[in-house]
């Protein structure tokens, strides 16, 4: 029960504590302590220094061991910069959003951890719904009309998606009729073990509904609109949290059902659905990047792009699958950096519109240079990690039975890179007519420190390529029946 307390019970308890504490600094201290403890424990489990024995409907496998530190890492950095962010008011109404900020963050950690560690479809479904309820009020932090609309749109569309996922779980139950699993609990390992006995028609229907339903949270096109609105209207730490970890939690659910269909006749159908979803996401990001008006929305579409790449890699399989698992890690780190720096720009210029931002390198030199470097990183420029993960995905596509997909992918990514770069460099270098630039040294803050450390991690993990990370991803590949 010790590991259950650290990973799941303590975040829930700290959420209750934050409800009764009115002092924001004290709430921050409690939350930061819990986040550090959670991160340390998650890394110990990942490295293999500790083998948890979780009760009830929870357990760990190679997939949850990878996704758990991704969640913990994103959460830790978001909490670390949150107090500094809350101290500086961005809008007149944002003061009201501070009261339950850390309470909801702790509940978010509790719900996401429960979802990642669950080994039961029912428990996973309940926990994922909990993640929606925890993040929705945080979307409304600014207390303006846009944020209110984004929150309700997110709640409405994602709730419909969760309902679709629930129907998919019911179809999975029907697929077990006449097998040893009939009338039994919905445990992932049991369904993986007896997958070949499941009814292929109901299994196919289950995969479609679960994939479509969870796509509203992952941000896979065409189910991406609520997620984009929520991310672009949230405060930057929350946007980083959603892009870096919440999408990963939803992706895990799709990977669970994909693992079940792997030894069945439904496998090729499921792969095709994933490939179509990945290509559609890239296409949607490609179209949007031609006319960017809102730079935070641009970053939200960048998340759509990279989740599309990950989904595409999973669908292709082989080396592309391995690259997709690496990409999950690198993309989560990069999204924190991008949204943190975008938050500094938003705080200074009081607008998310591209036209309202100019001369960032002169006015905010720290933030300007860091967002430029993070753009190069997200664009797969070496030696940053995304270069290596995308290279693996592209190599996997090239040597698959669908090499033509690589040409389509490269074409879409080229124009995404060009147009995203054009927008960003306009913000960094453009000077308005008659504008007088008063060069004032930007103060170095905790958010800059976090950004620099994360950029260094993006290089270090890729260059060092720890054996424990490689071995874990190889184990995940084996669990999915992939021979390397």
Convert the pLDDT of each residue in 362-420 to its tens digit: 888 999 999 999 999 999 999 999 999 999 999 999 999 899 999 999 999 999 999 99
State pTM to two decimals: 0.94
**What radius of gyration, in Å, describes the C-alpha atoms of the chain?**
22
Q: Is 313 in the same domain as 240?
A: no
pLDDT band, residue 85 (cuts 50/70/90): confident
In the block, tokens 């992939």 appear at: 482
Residue 434 has pLDDT above 70, yes or no: no
Residue 474, in any domain of the structure: yes
Tokens of 66: 């990878």
Task: Give me the pLDDT at residue 92, please.
Answer: 58
Number of helices (H), then strands (E), in the chain:
21, 0
Least confident of 4-13, 146-155, 225-234, 289-298: 4-13
Same domain flag for 253 and 340 = no
Name the packing angle between helices 319-349 and 446-464 (round to 10°): 170
Query: Does residue 305 contact residue 416 with C-beta atoms inside 8 Å?
Result: yes
pLDDT score for 433:
60
Give the pLDDT band of residue 146 (cuts 50, 70, 90). confident
Structure tokens at 278: 């990945």
Neighbours of 16 (CB within 10 A): 12
Sequence-distant contacts of 396-404: CB under 8 A, at least 24 apart:
396/313, 396/316, 396/317, 396/318, 396/319, 396/320, 396/321, 396/322, 396/323, 397/312, 397/316, 397/320, 399/318, 399/319, 400/316, 400/317, 400/318, 400/320, 402/275, 402/316
So what's the pLDDT on residue 242?
Answer: 93
Residue 431 placed within a domain: yes
Q: Are 455 and 370 in contact (CB under 8 A)?
A: yes
Per the structure, the complete domain to which residue 219 belongs is given by 1-265
* 242 and 285 belong to one structural domain: no
Kindly report the number of other CB atoms within 10 A of residue 294's CB atom.
17
* Confidence band for 89, pLDDT divided at 50, 70 and 90: low
Same domain, 210 and 316: no
pLDDT at residue 104 above 70?
yes
Residues 223, 360 within the same domain: no
Q: Is residue 270 part of a domain?
A: no
Statement to judge: residues 280 and 224 lie in one domain: no
Q: How far is CA 253 from the centre of its chain?
A: 13
Is residue 168 within 8 Å of 254, Cβ to Cβ?
no
Q: Measure the CA–CA gap between 169 and 308, rounded to whole angstroms.
A: 24
> For residue 440, what pLDDT is reported?
60
8 Å CB contact between 3 and 41: yes
Instruction: Enter the tokens of residue 131.
Output: 């993640």
Burial class (CB in 10 A: 0-12, 13-18, 19+), 13: middle
pLDDT in the model for residue 82: 92
Confidence label for 263 from pLDDT (cuts 50, 70 and 90): very high
Of 265, 288, 304, which closes a domain? 265
Q: Please indicate, yes or no, whether residues 35 and 9 belong to a single structural domain of this protein.
A: yes
**Placement of tokens 């980083």 in the chain:** 240
Give every CB contact of residue 15 below 8 A, 6+ residues apart in sequence: 103, 104, 106, 107, 110
Tell me the pLDDT band of 120, cut-offs 50, 70 and 90.
very high
Same domain for 183 and 288, yes or no, is no
Is 181 found in the same domain as 43? Answer: yes
User: Does the structure show a pLDDT above 70 at 316?
Assistant: yes
Residue 299 · residue 339 · CB < 8 Å: yes
- Whether 252 and 286 map to the same domain: the answer is no
Is a pLDDT exceeding 70 seen at residue 435? no
Both tokens assigned to 334: 């990069």
74 falls within a domain: yes
Mean pLDDT calculated for residue range 102-124: 94
Residue 35's closest CA among 237, 239, 254, 330?
A: 237
Which of the residue ranges 11-20, 45-54, 124-133, 261-270 would you say has the lowest mean pLDDT?
A: 45-54
C-alpha–C-alpha distance, residues 245 and 169, integer Å:
23
268 Cβ contact list (under 8 Å, min separation 6): none
User: What SS3 class is residue 440?
Assistant: coil
Question: Taking residues 156-177, what's their average pLDDT?
Answer: 94
Average pLDDT over residues 328-349: 92
Range in 97-101, 310-314, 356-360, 443-447 with the lowest mean pLDDT:
97-101
Q: Is 198 helix (H, G, I), strand (E, B) or coil?
A: coil
pLDDT over 80 (residue 341): yes
Question: Which residues are bridge partners to 187 per DSSP?
Answer: 120
Would you state the pLDDT for residue 439? 54
pLDDT (average), residues 199-215: 95
pLDDT > 70 in the chain, percent: 95
Q: Mean pLDDT score of the chain, rounded to an integer?
A: 90
| φ, ψ of residue 31 in degrees (nearest 5) | -65, -40
Do 281 and 181 belong together in one domain? no
- Taking 60 as the threshold, does the pLDDT of residue 2 lie above it? yes
Neighbours of 211 (CB within 10 A): 24
* Last residue in a domain, options 205, 232, 265: 265
Report d(CA 100, CA 78) in Å as an integer.
16
Q: Domain boundary at 228, 246, 265, which?
A: 265
Distances (CA, A) of 400 to 22, 167, 391, 394: 57, 33, 14, 10
What lies within 8 Å, CB to CB, of 351 at 6+ separation is: 357
Check whether residue 78 and residue 3 sit in a common domain. yes
Strand partners, 58: 118
Residue 122 placed within a domain: yes
**CA distances from residue 149 to 136, 137, 220, 230, 242 in whole angstroms, order as listed:** 11, 12, 21, 9, 17
Mean pLDDT for 185-206 is 91
Report the alpha-carbon distance of residue 315 to residue 309 in Å, rounded.
Answer: 10
Q: How many domains does the chain have?
A: 2
Is residue 348 situated within a structural domain? yes
């Amino acid at each position: 029960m010790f590991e259950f307390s650290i990973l799941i019970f303590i975040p829930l308890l700290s959420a209750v504590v934050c409800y009764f504490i009115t002092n924001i600094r004290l709430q921050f201290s409690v939350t930061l302590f819990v986040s550090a403890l959670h991160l340390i424990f998650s890394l110990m489990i990942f490295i293999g220094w500790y083998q948890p024995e979780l009760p009830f409907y929870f357990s760990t496998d190679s997939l949850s061991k990878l996704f758990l530190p991704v969640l913990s890492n994103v959460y830790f950095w978001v909490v670390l910069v949150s107090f500094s962010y809350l101290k500086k008011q961005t809008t007149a109404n944002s003061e009201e959003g501070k009261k339950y900020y850390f309470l909801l963050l702790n509940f978010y950690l509790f719900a996401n951890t429960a979802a990642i560690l669950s080994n039961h479809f029912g428990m996973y479904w309940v926990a994922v719904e909990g993640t929606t309820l925890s993040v929705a009020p945080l979307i409304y932090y600014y207390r303006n009309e846009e944020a209110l609309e984004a929150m309700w749109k997110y709640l409405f569309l994602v709730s419909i998606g969760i309902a679709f996922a629930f129907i998919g779980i019911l179809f999975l139950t029907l697929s077990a009729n006449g097998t040893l699993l009939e009338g039994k609990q919905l445990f992932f390992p049991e369904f993986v073990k007896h997958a070949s006995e499941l009814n292929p028609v109901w299994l196919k229907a289950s995969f479609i509904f679960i994939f479509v339903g969870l796509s509203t949270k992952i941000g896979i096109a065409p189910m991406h609109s609520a997620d984009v609105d929520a991310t672009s209207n949230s405060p930057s730490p929350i946007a980083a949290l959603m892009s870096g970890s919440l999408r990963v939690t939803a992706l895990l659910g799709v990977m669970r059902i994909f693992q079940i269909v792997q030894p069945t006749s439904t496998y090729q159908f499921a792969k095709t659905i994933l490939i179509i979803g990945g290509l559609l996401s890239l296409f949607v990001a490609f179209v949007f990047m031609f006319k960017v008006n809102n730079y935070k929305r641009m970053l939200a579409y960048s998340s759509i792009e990279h989740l599309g790449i990950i989904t595409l890699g999973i669908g292709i399989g082989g080396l592309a699958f391995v690259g997709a698992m690496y990409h999950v890690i690198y993309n989560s780190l990069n999204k924190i950096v991008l949204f943190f720096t975008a938050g500094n720009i938003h705080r200074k210029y009081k607008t998310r519109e591209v036209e309202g931002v100019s001369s960032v390198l002169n006015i905010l030199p720290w933030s300007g240079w860091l967002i430029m470097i993070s753009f190069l990183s997200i664009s797969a420029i070496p030696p940053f990690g995304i270069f290596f993960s995308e290279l693996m995905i592209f190599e996997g596509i090239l040597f698959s039975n669908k090499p033509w997909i690589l040409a389509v992918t490269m074409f879409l990514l080229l124009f995404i890179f060009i147009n995203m770069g054009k927008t960003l460099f306009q913000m960094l270098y453009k000077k308005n007519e008659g504008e007088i630039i008063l060069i004032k040294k930007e103060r170095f803050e905790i958010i800059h420190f976090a950004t620099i450390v994360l950029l260094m991690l993006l290089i270090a993990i890729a260059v060092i390529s720890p054996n424990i990370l490689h071995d874990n991803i190889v184990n995940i590949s084996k669990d999915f029946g992939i021979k390397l």
